[in-house]
């Protein structure tokens, strides 16, 4: 891989990791030192950033905030089982092609170039390659795609060039910033990981989660935020099948605050628990031990 | 930065960084030359020509040389050992010698020395353990395969469980909603045919076909854990555990006199831990088996759930019903209508003299698609084959 020609830290709008932390905070994203270092290095070294972590810790958000912060366009490729090149890269608009063919047969107009750019449907990867350094490419939930797609993606990521047989080669003068997220429902290939910087996002500490709530849900009182964060931390340590993410914490604190709660009380907590836990068994488990969760907050 | 190459202090610092990468490798992390290079570049970028604090160096290494969450603890330990001092002289000099974007060729030579990225594979401790178990097993495989689970020693049982977990579970499939191209498909694929016809001036020379995708059916295990049955059920639970880990749709229930869902416990932890949890819940070990009532509970509570309908249901029990055999018959009929295939595993069947004369068994058998022993490895293998 050509080592970040031209880019380097100098070309970045943020000169250091500390500046990046501040800039992210201005965009309402609170990153710890580790995550900020990972993002900064990914930008400085022109490497894709692979983010793993449980659902709801803010992996996807990183790409969105980054696009805002850099003033770039966010190109999102949502992965799913069975995704293939025609959905990720490009596709021909065959109905329009067919109409053009028929029109030509009727002599109304010339066939022209059936495989010209006007019949090309651009999909996220091609869009990102074309936009180059003006884009942040988010490849979301890559673990959901099949192995074959991962191999294909590896090719695109190492070259940042796409060859369309009928048109020619499209390549990025400078590669876009790439953020890949995975919920880790399966292990990604080592070959792909080798090309990326890796960061594991953990659930935030209690203090950080309080801060996040204060930024994301300013209407929630400080005491409530503190109690909610502490309760959620206890809950995550319990044997729940689906541990609540930051998004759920925010939802819960919003729900509590909407009901006028200033402190975390057992009744309102029990009534709003559905904002936090989405699994029936988990709900039953926690309802049964709610006193324990709310004790001495 | 100057292209003069590192001075004496720089060379020492470089050796420290590269040495750290090698140290990680020595501790079993898959760190190749490429990663060490990226690590050096990252350290350089962070130092930006000046010094580097220990925390930043930690993150530079972690982000570039660790690719799995499980390796984080090993990385932390190695980092503490290799860079114990926050006032390390090396840290202050990092930025002085590392050029910002590329390393001078002599450094690449240092890196390449003595190891190759692709051929090197770290021995993983868990894998080693499994292999060792399988090794023990291979020596007396035939004995183990045919001995009943209740006659195995603890070590043999552990080995047997490892084998059960590795059995390839092929479940029957059903049609899924989505389509896929298939040359032998039964439906005409207009879209792809049109697309192909454009290459031939609109003439559809090549016709394309498509077919439904196929998905494996859900597997439901209903295991009798009362009395002597628990050893057999434990073996089948390994099965469920492996299937869950393989990403299959699996539900596991245990019953004695009443029904307990253990899918969750299995998803979170090890099969043995799940078994202990079940043991804690099933307090009435000697209360006998009420198969009919337990199945009724299963059907009443989960009958509407997607996982029962069209599933492959494996029921493991000796069929010695303490409750009303007629109830068992009725519930089996209900289950038979709901499930795609009903398999009854009865370890007693492993004995050549066994005849299904117990009243519960005779009531249930008409609704059962497969009736199998499942008392040892060989018969579990047979079960595995008959599922597909």
pLDDT digits (tens, 9 = 90+) for A119-132: 888 999 999 999 98
- Asked if pLDDT for residue A34 goes beyond 90, the answer is yes
What burial class does residue B50 get, using C-beta atoms within 10 Å of its C-beta: 0-12 exposed, 13-18 middle, 19+ buried? exposed
Cβ-Cβ pairs closer than 8 A, A with B, add up to 95
Confidence category of residue B193, pLDDT binned at 50, 70, 90: confident
Q: Predicted confidence band at B131 (pLDDT cuts at 50, 70, 90)?
A: very low
Inter-chain residue contact B38 with A193, CB threshold 8 Å: no
For B119, the 3-state DSSP assignment is coil
Dist CA B252 CA B260 (whole Å): 9
The beta-carbon neighbor of A4 closest among B101, B201, B213 is: B101
Give the pLDDT score at B300.
86
The residue-averaged pLDDT of A68-78 equals: 94
Query: What number of H helices and E strands is found in chain B?
Result: 17, 9
Q: Which residue of A has its CA nearest to B248?
A: A185
Tell me the mean pLDDT in the region B137-163.
70
B305: alpha, beta or left, given left = phi > 0 and alpha = psi -120 to 50? Answer: beta
Let me know: does A40 contact A197? Beta carbons within 8 Å. no
From the list A56, A40, A48, the residue with the least C-alpha distance to A136 is A48
Say if B46 is an interface residue toward chain A (CB within 8 Å).
yes
pLDDT at B58 over 90: yes
Q: Which three-class secondary structure state does DSSP give residue B71? A: helix
Residue B84 has pLDDT above 60, yes or no: yes
Query: What is chain B's Cα-based Rg?
Result: 30
Name chain B contacts of A190, Cβ cutoff 8 Å: 30, 67
Using a CB-CB cut-off of 8 Å, the residues of chain B touching A6 are none
Helix (H/G/I), strand (E/B), else coil: A181: strand
Which range among A214-218, B63-67, B162-166 shows the weakest confidence by mean pLDDT? Answer: B162-166
Chain B residue at shortest CA distance from A36: B59
Q: How confident is the model at residue A254 (pLDDT cuts 50, 70, 90)?
A: very high
Tell me, what's the pLDDT at B1? 40
Nearest to A53 by CA among A242, A201, A199: A201
Name the minimum distance, in Å, from the CA of A244 to any CA of chain B: 15
**What topology is assigned to A9-81+128-200 in CATH?**
Rossmann fold (3.40.50)
Q: Does A87 touch chain B (CB under 8 A)?
A: no
| Contact check, Cβ <8 Å, B178/A82 | yes
3-state SS assignment for residue B5 = coil
pLDDT score for A73: 95
- HSE (side-chain half, CA atoms, 13 Å) at A212: 25
Contact A92 B100 (CB under 8 A): no
Whether the Cβ atoms of residue B225 and residue B233 lie closer than 8 Å to each other:
yes
Which of A253-267, B95-109, B321-335 is the least confident region? B95-109
CA distance A120 to A109: 20
Contact check, Cβ <8 Å, A98/B194: yes
List the 97-116 stretch of B: residues with Cβ below 8 A of A: 100-102
> In this structure, are residues B311 and B220 in contact, taking their beta carbons and an 8 Å threshold?
yes
Which pLDDT score, from 0 to 100, does residue A124 have?
93
Across chain A, mean pLDDT equals 87
* A211, two tokens: 């801060």
Instruction: Find residue A181's DSSP bridge partners.
Output: A51
Give the integer Cα–Cα distance in Å for B300 and B290.
16
Contact B268 A239 (CB under 8 A): yes
Q: Tell me which of B34, B59, B251 to substitute to probe the interface with A (most A C-beta atoms closer than 10 Å).
A: B59
> What is chain A's length?
297
Q: Per-residue pLDDT tens for B235-284?
A: 888 888 887 877 778 898 888 877 888 888 888 777 777 777 776 766 55
B31 contact residues in A (CB cutoff 8 A): none
In this predicted structure, what is the pLDDT of residue A61? 92
A287 touches chain B (CB under 8 A): no
Query: In this complex, is the C-beta atom of A34 within 8 Å of any C-beta atom belonging to chain B?
Result: yes
- Closest Cβ opposite residue A41 in set B42, B69, B201: B42
Tokens of A195: 């090309």
Contacts of B202 in chain A (CB under 8 A): 98, 101-102, 105
pLDDT digits (tens, 9 = 90+) for A131-175: 988 999 999 999 888 878 888 888 888 888 888 888 888 888 888
Per-residue pLDDT, B102: 55
B221 membership: H or E segment, kind and range: strand B219-224
Q: How many angstroms away from the CA of A14 is the closest CA of chain B?
A: 12
Locate the domains of chain B by residue range.
Answer: 8-112, 174-215, 218-387
Categorize the per-residue pLDDT at A250 as very low, low, confident or very high, splitting at 50, 70 and 90. Answer: very high
Residue B116 is predicted with a pLDDT of 38
Residue with tokens 């198969």: B291
Mean pLDDT, residues A236-257: 89
The mean-pLDDT minimum among B75-84, B157-166, B315-324 falls in B157-166
- With a CB-CB cutoff of 8 Å, which residues 232-261 of chain A face chain B? 239, 241
Q: In 3D, which of B51, B63, B56 has the Cα closest to residue A42? A: B63
Query: What pLDDT score was predicted for residue B200?
Result: 79
Place of tokens 């043999």: B156
Mutate to test the interface with A, among B67, B70, B105, B212 (most CBs of A within 10 A): B67
What pLDDT shows up at residue B132? 40
Whether residue B195 and residue A92 make contact (CB cut-off 8 A), yes or no, is yes
pLDDT band of B7, cuts 50, 70, 90: low
Q: Which pLDDT belongs to residue B124? A: 41
Q: Which residues contact A75 (CB under 8 A, 6 or more apart)?
A: A124, A127, A128, A131, A135, A136, A137, A138, A176
Q: What would the DSSP string read from start to end of A150-179? A: HHHHHHHHHH-EEEETTTEEEE-SSPPEEE
* Gap from B144 CA to chain A (nearest CA, Å): 33
Share of chain A above pLDDT 90, in %: 44
Confidence of residue A112 (pLDDT cuts 50, 70, 90): low
Which residues, numbered 138 to 197 in chain A, qualify as contacts with chain B under a Cβ-Cβ cut-off of 8 Å?
184-187, 190, 193-194, 196-197
pLDDT at residue A231 in the model:
94
**Comparing C-alpha atoms, which of B279, B285, B284, B358 is closest to residue B318?**
B358
What's the topology of domain B218-387? Rossmann fold (3.40.50)
Of the pLDDT bands very low, low, confident and very high (cuts 50, 70, 90), residue A21 is: very high
Q: State the pLDDT at residue B107.
A: 55
Residue A13 pLDDT exceeds 80: no
Residue B49 clears pLDDT 70, i.e. is over it: no
* pLDDT(B127) > 50: no
Of the partner residues B30, B69, B202, the one whose CB lies closest to the CB of residue A190: B30
What value does the mean pLDDT take over residues B63-77?
Answer: 87
Tokens of A20: 């990046």
Most confident of A84-98, B197-211, B299-313, B362-376: B362-376
pLDDT on residue B99: 52
Cβ–Cβ gap B247/A186 under 8 Å? yes
Q: Which residue has the higher pLDDT, B339 or B117?
A: B339
A205 touches chain B (CB under 8 A): no
Which residue out of A37, A47, A237, A238 would a mutagenesis test of the B interface target, given it has the greatest number of B Cβ atoms within 10 Å?
A37
For residue A19, list chain B residues with Cβ-Cβ distance below 8 A.
none
Mean pLDDT in chain B? Answer: 77
Min Cα–Cα distance to chain B from A228, Å: 25
Cα(B217)–Cα(B388) distance, integer angstroms? 10
Interchain CB distance below 8 Å, A194 and B201: no
Given a contact cutoff of 8 angstroms between Cβ atoms, the answer to whether A208 and A200 are in contact is: no
Question: Looking at the partner chain, which of B56, B100, B268 has a beta carbon nearest the beta carbon of A241?
Answer: B268
Alpha-carbon torsion A187, A192, A193, A198, what sign?
negative
Is the predicted pLDDT of residue A227 greater than 80, yes or no? yes
Residue with the bigger pLDDT between B8 and A78: it is A78
Task: Please list, in sequence order, all residues whose beta carbon lies within 8 angstroms of the beta carbon of residue A284, skipping any fewer than 6 positions away.
Answer: none
Assigned token pair, B27: 């501790």
Q: What is the pLDDT, as a whole number, of residue A76? A: 96
pLDDT tens digits, one per residue of B336-350: 888 889 999 988 888
A24 in contact with B at a CB cutoff of 8 Å?
A: no
Alpha helical stretches, state H, B203-312: 229-245, 263-268, 271-281, 291-302
Pairing of strands A177-182, B341-345: unpaired
Q: What is the least distance, in Å, from the CA of B367 to any CA of chain A?
A: 32
């Amino acid at each position: 891989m050509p080592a970040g020609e031209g880019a380097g830290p100098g070309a970045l709008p943020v000169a250091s990791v500390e500046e990046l932390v501040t800039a992210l905070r201005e965009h309402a994203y609170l990153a710890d030192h580790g995550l900020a270092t990972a993002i900064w290095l990914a930008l400085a070294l022109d490497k894709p950033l692979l983010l793993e972590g449980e659902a709801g810790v803010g992996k996807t958000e990183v790409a969105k905030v980054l696009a805002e912060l850099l003033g770039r366009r966010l190109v999102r490729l949502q992965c799913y089982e069975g995704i293939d090149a025609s959905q990720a890269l490009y596709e021909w608009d065959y109905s329009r092609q067919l109409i053009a063919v028929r029109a030509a047969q009727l002599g109304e107009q010339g066939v022209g170039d059936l495989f010209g750019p006007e019949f090309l449907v651009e999909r996220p990867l091609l869009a990102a390659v074309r936009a180059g350094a003006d884009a942040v490419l988010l490849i979301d939930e890559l673990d959901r795609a099949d192995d074959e797609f991962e191999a294909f993606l590896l090719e695109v990521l190492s070259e940042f060039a796409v060859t369309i047989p009928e048109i020619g080669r499209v390549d990025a003068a400078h590669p876009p910033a790439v953020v890949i997220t995975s919920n880790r429902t399966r292990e990604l290939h080592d070959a792909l990981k080798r090309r990326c910087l890796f960061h594991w996002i953990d659930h935030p500490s209690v203090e950080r989660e309080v801060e996040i709530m204060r930024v994301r849900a300013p209407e929630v009182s400080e005491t409530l935020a503190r109690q909610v964060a502490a309760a959620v931390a206890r809950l995550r340590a319990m044997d729940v099948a689906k541990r609540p993410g930051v998004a759920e914490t925010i939802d819960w604190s919003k729900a509590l605050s909407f009901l006028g709660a200033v402190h975390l009380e057992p009744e309102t907590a029990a009534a709003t628990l559905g904002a936090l836990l989405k699994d029936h068994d988990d709900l039953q488990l926690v309802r049964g031990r709610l006193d324990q969760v709310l004790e001495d907050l | 930065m100057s292209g003069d190459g590192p001075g004496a202090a720089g060379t020492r610092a470089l050796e420290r960084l590269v040495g750290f990468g090698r140290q990680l490798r020595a501790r079993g992390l898959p760190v190749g030359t490429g990663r060490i290079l990226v690590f050096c570049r990252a350290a350089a970028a962070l130092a930006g020509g000046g010094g580097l604090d220990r925390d930043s160096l930690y993150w530079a290494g972690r982000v570039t040389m660790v690719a799995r969450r499980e390796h984080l603890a090993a990385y932390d330990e190695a980092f503490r050992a290799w860079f114990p001092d926050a006032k390390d002289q090396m840290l202050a000099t990092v930025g002085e010698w590392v050029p910002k974007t590329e390393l001078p060729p002599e450094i690449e030579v240092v890196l390449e020395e003595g190891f190759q990225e692709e051929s090197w594979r770290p021995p993983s401790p868990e894998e080693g353990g499994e292999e060792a178990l399988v090794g023990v097993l291979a020596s007396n495989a035939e004995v183990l395969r045919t001995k009943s689970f209740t006659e195995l020693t603890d070590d043999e049982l552990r080995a047997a469980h490892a084998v059960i977990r590795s059995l390839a579970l092929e479940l029957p499939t059903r049609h899924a909603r989505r389509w896929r191209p298939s040359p032998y498909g039964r439906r005409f694929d207009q879209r792809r045919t049109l697309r192909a016809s454009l290459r031939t001036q609109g003439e559809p020379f090549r016709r394309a076909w498509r077919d439904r995708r196929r998905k494996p059916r859900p597997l439901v295990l209903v295991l009798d854990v009362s009395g002597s049955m628990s050893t057999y059920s434990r073996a089948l639970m390994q099965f469920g555990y492996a299937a869950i880990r393989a990403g299959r749709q699996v539900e596991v229930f245990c019953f004695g006199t009443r029904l307990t869902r253990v899918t969750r416990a299995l998803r979170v932890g090890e099969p043995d831990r799940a078994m202990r949890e079940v043991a804690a819940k099933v307090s009435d070990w000697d209360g006998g088996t009420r198969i009919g009532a337990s199945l009724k509970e299963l059907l009443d509570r989960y009958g509407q759930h997607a996982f029962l309908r069209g599933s492959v249901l494996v029921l493991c029990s000796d069929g010695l019903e303490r409750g009303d055999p007629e109830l068992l018959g009725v519930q089996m009929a209900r289950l038979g209508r709901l499930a795609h295939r009903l398999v009854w595993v009865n370890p007693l069947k492993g004995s050549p003299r066994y005849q299904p004369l117990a009243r519960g068994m005779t009531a249930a058998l008409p609704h059962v698609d497969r009736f199998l022993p499942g008392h040892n490895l060989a018969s579990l293998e047979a079960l595995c084959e008959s599922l597909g």
